[in-house]
């Protein structure tokens, strides 16, 4: 809600509305409330994506890796591939290309 709409009565009403099912709740001097004020972002449209088709985007942009596999380790492979890139793994090219090392890394984290 807007800050201009917030007052003590409105605040108490909202607390009572949310906690109405808890009949033993008592508001007294021991009640502490922490408020966090967040400014909403404004303006700008940001970068617009040039492509609407993910297939075309992944073909033309080199920053995407497509995980190709025949097992059920898609997520594990993607996570381990990203981790290898961030860690600067010495066999990054083999991992990126989906060779056996990618499979072995993915199996290590899969229960």
C-beta separation of 108 from 75 below 8 A: no
Does 47 score more than 70 pLDDT? no
What is the rounded distance in angstroms from the CA atom of residue 35 to the CA atom of residue 50? 41
Highest mean pLDDT among 7-11, 21-25, 34-38, 45-49: 7-11
Domain chopping of the chain, boundaries:
54-109
Query: What is this structure's pTM?
Result: 0.47
Strands (E), 1-111: none
Query: Which tens digits make up the pLDDT trace of 49-104?
Result: 665 666 777 777 767 777 878 888 888 888 888 888 888 889 888 888 888 888 88
């Amino acid at each position: 809600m807007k800050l201009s709409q917030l007052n003590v009565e409105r605040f108490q009403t909202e607390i009572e509305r949310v906690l109405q099912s808890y009949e033993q709740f008592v508001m007294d001097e021991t009640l502490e409330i922490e408020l966090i004020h967040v400014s909403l972002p404004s303006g700008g449209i940001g970068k617009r994506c040039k492509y609407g088709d993910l297939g075309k985007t992944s073909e033309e942009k080199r920053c995407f890796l497509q995980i190709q596999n025949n097992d059920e380790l898609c997520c594990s492979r993607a996570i381990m591939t990203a981790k290898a890139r961030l860690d600067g793994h010495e066999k990054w090219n083999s991992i990126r290309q989906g060779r056996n090392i990618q499979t072995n890394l993915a199996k290590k984290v899969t229960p």
